[in-house]
Structure 1
């Protein structure tokens, strides 16, 4: 079960990475929009603001790439977990069936032993019945 916990921890970590990147991307886009709105009010523009906007756009592009990679990794982990859970479920079913078959075989063996004991008792006590008749 340690492997299952580890797999779900990996999934949670990947999901947190995706969510963090989405939040960061949203924040960067809002900052870029505010800077663009502020620079559009000034005729001719401010070179430092234009440079900041370009830097923000580059950061947004890099963050979007990182987000895509993180989403792909999350999906890969999710698919691996699904496959492993299906495999684990099949193994557990097979183990349960084998255990059940073993139980039935043991029960049959005990029933046969008990039947033999009762047959022996009946054989031994049949002499008493014949003597009393």
Structure 2
């Protein structure tokens, strides 16, 4: 748009010059002066359009950088949320396993001499608890690293 306005202004300037050179009557000179005003306004509008375009590019570049940063921030928050969810899930699972182990220990302590099947289940459960605690510790370290 600005380029077209500039070309229009230059065309009017050339026409004004021609009109002034070839003018015979005063009315032709008045018309040439009016055309010169239109030509000047068109050239100024062209310059304003060019400046507007450069300012728009500058501001859009800033917005583009901001959007790139927001994408990284969003990704970081997603990673943090995922890590926190993992920690919370492991804590809940660990609590459930410990509760089951306590119930199994209470049930096996009531039976004199113990039950081999319950003892084996209790050992397996305690091994699962240790593995879950290790996973929880790793998840907490990962969460702290991301946080």
Larger Rg: 2
Give me the TM-score of the superposition, normalised by structure 2.
0.59
User: For the structure 1 residues 56 and 120, does the alpha-carbon distance in structure 2 shift closer, same or farther, using more than 3 Å as the test?
Assistant: same
The total of aligned residue pairs comes to 107
Q: Structure 1 residue 25: deviation in Å?
A: 3.4
**Unmatched tracts of structure 2, length 5 or more:** 116-147
Per mean C-alpha deviation after superposition, the further-off stretch among 43-52 and 88-97 is: 43-52
Q: Does 1:44 align with 2:26?
A: no
- Which residue of the partner structure matches residue 29 of structure 1? 8
Q: Deviation per CA, 1:44-101, whole angstroms, max 9, x where unpaired?
A: 3310111122222211111111001100111112111111111111111101111111
Higher relative contact order (CA 8 A, sep 6+): 1
Aligned to 2:36: 54
Aligned-pair CA distance for 1:109: 0.9
Runs of 4+, deviation exceeding 6 Å: none
